[in-house]
Amino acid sequence: MGCISKFTLFVTNFIVFGVGVAVVALASIVISKDNTYGVLLSEGTFALPIIILIAGLIILLIGFLGCCGAAQESRCMLYTYAVIVLILLLAEIVLGIVMLVYSNKAEDLIIEGMDDVFNDYGKDDKSLTKAIDRAQHDLQCCGVHNYTDWENFYYGQQHNNSVADGCCKNMTKGCGLDVLVDPDIASTIYTQGCFYAIKEDAKDATIGLGVACLILALVQAFSISFACSLAKEAR
């Protein structure tokens, strides 16, 4: 039975190690979008992928230590490992519940932050204005919810019936002026909101991260069981 527990614990922790690699890779993909996403999101919002990256590195380390503990059959190491994994598993469950319960609130906070960023367009910070234009053009979006948001932003109030130049499909200086009165507006500018464009663009990474976390939770539960079993049998 000891050999079975040892082998199973080693394999499960190798899977944990693999999931850790997947989480790190997915978080890195989202972070690589920083030049596009970061400028449209309020300060601090984009810290979430960094936190996930750190969590992935911790999972990687735990998987590695679990493999070493199984190989050496150290009771102290195995029990310590089981406690750490149990704490991590409970934290993941709590975090998952919080994210489900407050998902709408989180989206509202992100939208509010984006409103603040877009409202600074056309003011003294020229580099921010250019960055917002580039981000909208790259994501093929306009405004937060949709292009009509520009009527309520500072730039739209200074230039009636206008949107940011980055909304234009053919982006040139001043191309967004007076386009809101254009009857064929859909052929001139992007109409989808940037919040939904980001949400859609990050959907695959989010689904992949969710699947990885589910697999990780199941593997962690087995790891705790086998670590305790192997520790009891170890001399």
Question: What band does 140 get if pLDDT is binned at 50, 70 and 90?
Answer: very high
In this structure, the answer to whether residues 176 and 156 fall within a common structural domain is yes
Distance (Å, whole) CA 161 – CA 185: 12
Shared domain check, 75 and 38: yes
pLDDT for position 34:
52
Q: Residues 83, 135: one domain?
A: no
pLDDT for 69: 65
pLDDT tens-digit series, residues 161-180: 999 999 999 999 999 999 99
Q: In the block, which residue shows the tokens 């080693």?
A: 10
pLDDT of residue 1: 42
pLDDT at 220: 73
Q: Which two tokens stand for residue 70?
A: 């199984």
Flag whether pLDDT at 131 surpasses 50.
Answer: yes
3-state SS assignment for residue 192 = strand
Task: Looking at the structure, tell me whether residues 153 and 82 fall in a common domain.
Answer: no
Residues 112 and 163 in one domain: yes
- Quote the pTM value: 0.62
Q: Report pLDDT digits (tens) over 29-73.
A: 666 655 556 566 655 455 556 666 677 777 777 777 667 766 666
Q: What is the structure's pLDDT at 32?
A: 61
pLDDT number for residue 211: 72
At residue 151, does pLDDT exceed 60? yes
- Least confident window among 29-43, 130-144, 185-199: 29-43
Per-residue model confidence as pLDDT tens digits over 198-216: 888 777 666 666 676 777 7
pLDDT of residue 154: 93
Q: How confident is the model at residue 137 (pLDDT cuts 50, 70, 90)?
A: very high
Q: Indicate if 114 and 23 belong to the same structural domain.
A: no
* Section 178-200 average pLDDT: 90
pLDDT of residue 18: 73
- Own/partner contacts of 169-174, CB < 8 Å, gap of 24 or more, are 171/133, 171/137
For 89-124, give the secondary structure using H, E and C: HHHHHHHHHHHHHCHHHHHHHHHHHHHHHHHCCCCC
The count of domains in the chain is 2
192 with 207, same domain: the answer is no
Contact 21, 60 (CB under 8 A): yes
**Both 114 and 83 in a single domain?**
no
Give the domain range for residue 81: 2-102+203-233
- Count the helix, strand and coil residues of the chain and give each as a percent rounded to the nearest 5: 75, 0, 20
Same domain, 48 and 123: no
State which H helix or E strand residue 212 sits in: helix 203-233
- How far apart (Å, rounded) are the C-alpha atoms in residues 221 and 176? 55
Report the mean per-residue pLDDT for the chain: 78
What is the percent of the chain with per-residue pLDDT over 90, rounded to a whole number?
Answer: 26
Query: Any residues with CB less than 8 A from the CB of 175 and at least 6 apart, and which?
Result: 165, 168
Please report where in the chains the tokens 């409202």 appear, as a residue.
119
pLDDT of 224: 75
CA distance 199 to 22: 20
CATH number for position 118:
1.10.1450
Residue 210 and residue 170 in one domain: no
Q: pLDDT tens, 97-121?
A: 776 676 677 788 888 888 988 999 9
Residue 192 and residue 160 in one domain = yes
Q: Are residues 151 and 167 in the same domain?
A: yes
